[in-house]
Amino acid sequence: MSAGAICVRSVHVASPGESVRAVARRMAEGDVGTVVVLGERDRPVGILTDRDLVLRCISQERDPDTTEVAEVMTAPVTYVYESTPIESALARMAGARARRLVVVNDDERLVGILALDDVLELLTEELGSVGKLLRQRFDAKSALLGSR
């Protein structure tokens, strides 16, 4: 399975020159904790999280009306291509000590975002399916043995 197959494709975005307050308001309205920052030709140049807002703006007493996103975003952005196998994406996540990766196409344009929580949710569903199949097989074997 690839990163592109399971990433969330509805992503909130911002530009580097926007004010922190404007983006923070959009994050609150959209109930999201992460925004991908797009530069020239709509290519990801950074990522802004609610944690970035706290650690790099609020705690340093910066004015959110005059502070630009570029000053507090995490950059450079850690990304994978949509064709990247999920195992490689997880290794990249671990290597970057990140919980999220930006997913791009072959032109390095934004496709989506892959969060560790999304991967864990998928694995949980897959393990549940495997468990169900094993129970069915066990029940069928038990029924066969019981009829003898």
Query: pLDDT of 117-137, one tens digit each?
Result: 888 887 787 766 666 777 777
User: What are the backbone dihedrals phi and psi of residue 98, each rounded to the nearest 5 degrees, phi first?
Assistant: -120, 155
Q: Is the pLDDT of residue 143 over 70?
A: no
The answer to whether 79 and 30 have CB atoms below 8 angstroms apart is no
- CATH code of the domain in which 12 resides: 3.10.580.10
Residue 48: how many CB atoms within 10 A of its CB?
29
- Please count the structural domains in the chain: 1
User: What are the backbone dihedrals phi and psi of residue 77, each rounded to the nearest 5 degrees, phi first?
Assistant: -75, 140
For the chain, percent of residues with pLDDT exceeding 90: 74
- Domain hosting 68: range is 3-115
Q: Does residue 51 fall inside a structural domain? A: yes
Q: Does residue 120 fall inside a structural domain? A: no
Q: Measured between alpha carbons, how far is residue 52 from residues 4, 32, 57 in Å?
A: 26, 13, 7
pLDDT at 124: 80
Q: Does residue 134 fall inside a structural domain? A: no
Q: Does residue 32 fall inside a structural domain? A: yes
Q: Measured between alpha carbons, how far is residue 85 from residues 3, 22, 103, 142 in Å?
A: 6, 36, 12, 39
pTM for this one?
A: 0.81
Q: Does residue 47 fall inside a structural domain? A: yes
Q: Does residue 94 fall inside a structural domain? A: yes
Q: Is the pLDDT of residue 13 over 70?
A: yes
Residue partners of 40: CB distance under 8 A and separation at least 6: none
Q: Does residue 148 fall inside a structural domain? A: no
pLDDT at 129: 64
Distance between CA 70 and CA 35 in Å, rounded? 12
Q: Does residue 79 fall inside a structural domain? A: yes
pLDDT digits (tens, 9 = 90+) for 26-44: 999 999 999 999 999 989 9
pLDDT confidence band for 145 (50 / 70 / 90): low
Distance between CA 37 and CA 60 in Å, rounded? 21
